[in-house]
Amino acid sequence: MLFSKALRRRAASMQPRVCAEPLPAALRLVPRGAAVASILGCVVTRGATHYEFAAVASIDRPGTLASLAGIAHLQNATWIESGNPHLELVGLGWSACRVAPDEMGTVLRCEFDAPPLDSLRLRLAMFGARGEFEMPLADAALRGDGRWLVWNPTPIYVKEGAALRKDRLGSWVREWRDAGFVDVHVLARDDTVCARASGLGLACAVRPPIDAAMSATGAARYHDLTLYNLLGLVTATALRHDVVAFMDLDELPPPDMDAKARGLLNSSRGYLRAFFRGERCRPPSFCPASECELAAAAASGVCDAELHHTGNSKLVAVPRRLRMISAHEAWTHSHDQKPPHIAAKGCAGRNWPFDLCLRNRSVFG
């Protein structure tokens, strides 16, 4: 395929691009009833010899999400693989794609040699059915290239009677930037939140529930949390961020966050575990060294008893070292799921360390 000199110059200077809103976008396969792929986000970058496309999707049987009873939607990776999924980019000359399903979400990846313009056409086939979708592209708001990123994976919604305080959101942004995290990205359920956040120097993206029949305010509001953690990992890896912190808007960095992140970079570890439930302990500044110490605090009444049975860590990671992530845990390319246990006399079961403790402050009033 031949391209004009002007087109090649544009390709040479191409900044990273992302899938344009509205998202999630439904790629429906026909005959109807085979599957539906919800594209939650993507990023397109230029490598040394080719272009790279990476997207996060939820591939499901039609109706699966609307009947969701729990708070987390997990992928049925075995079912997806049984459909022999095949992805290609249409109209771009040579391309090589793969579909990588996992229970946390499905990653779509392609390499291609034609410079992308304003959109990409995806073609997905599985279970003998096929669908195509034109995916508009927009310039990425994040810069990457060695910067540190704080990524909010939980789309913001505002409870009835509450209000998002712009001053507190601005303070949240400043405190993370002061800790070295220059790029800031948040998700919201509707554009009123992004409008409220304008002028604060952050990237805000609107992501309503995957299925319109689902409530954005009930327990199911967390149904896509694992998917957006995965999108943060895919985005940070593609844009070459050195460090990414997966944090909600009520979680603030400790005073030594910069040193902790630099120590992580200078080590061989993939991530740090940050205790984030201090508001459920007395005093809120309680900072356990491990899950075992937290369990003892929950048993003694220092912390709420429920903390012995919940996910209590948020993650600060080196994205290029991870292969998969969830809301509270991560997996490295060496297939290590968690850091070594801390030896503690009389402590049975899980005893994974907390590397740091976050502070808490709500952005709502």
Residue pLDDT, tens place only, 72-104: 677 889 999 999 999 999 988 889 999 999 999
Residue 28 — pLDDT band, cuts 50, 70, 90?
Answer: confident
Q: What is the mean pLDDT of residues 248-255?
A: 97
Model pLDDT, residue 63: 67
Task: Count CB-CB contacts under 10 A for residue 63.
Answer: 11
pLDDT averaged over every residue in the chain:
88
CATH code, 148-360? 3.90.550
Domain extents in the chain = 5-139, 148-360
Q: Which of 226, 195, 197, 223 is nearest to 208 (CA)?
A: 223
For the sheet containing 148-151, what is the strand order? 203-206, 183-188, 148-151, 243-246, 313-317, 271-275, 356-357
C-alpha 162 chain-centroid distance: 26
Residue 305 — pLDDT band, cuts 50, 70, 90?
Answer: very high
Residue 127 — pLDDT band, cuts 50, 70, 90?
Answer: very high
User: Lowest mean pLDDT: which of 97-111, 150-164, 341-355?
Assistant: 341-355
Q: What is the mean pLDDT of residues 272-286?
A: 97
Q: What is the mean pLDDT of residues 219-234?
A: 87
DSSP state letters, 10-38: HHHTPPPEEEPSS-SEEEE-BSTTS-EEE
User: Lowest mean pLDDT: which of 43-52, 60-69, 120-129?
Assistant: 60-69
Instruction: Give the CA radius of gyration of the chain.
Output: 21
Place of tokens 């990414």: 244
Q: Which of 249, 245, 99 is nearest to 172 (CA)?
A: 249
Cβ–Cβ under 8 Å, residues 18 and 1: no
Model pLDDT, residue 73: 76
Q: What is the mean pLDDT of residues 218-224?
A: 70
pLDDT tens for residues 169-183? Answer: 999 999 999 999 999
User: Using CA atoms in the order 220, 221, 227, 233, what is the torsion angle rounded to 10 degrees?
Assistant: -150
Residue 200 — pLDDT band, cuts 50, 70, 90?
Answer: very high
Task: Count CB-CB contacts under 10 A for residue 213.
Answer: 12
Q: Is the pLDDT of residue 1 over 50?
A: no
What six digits make up the tokens of 114? 């034609």
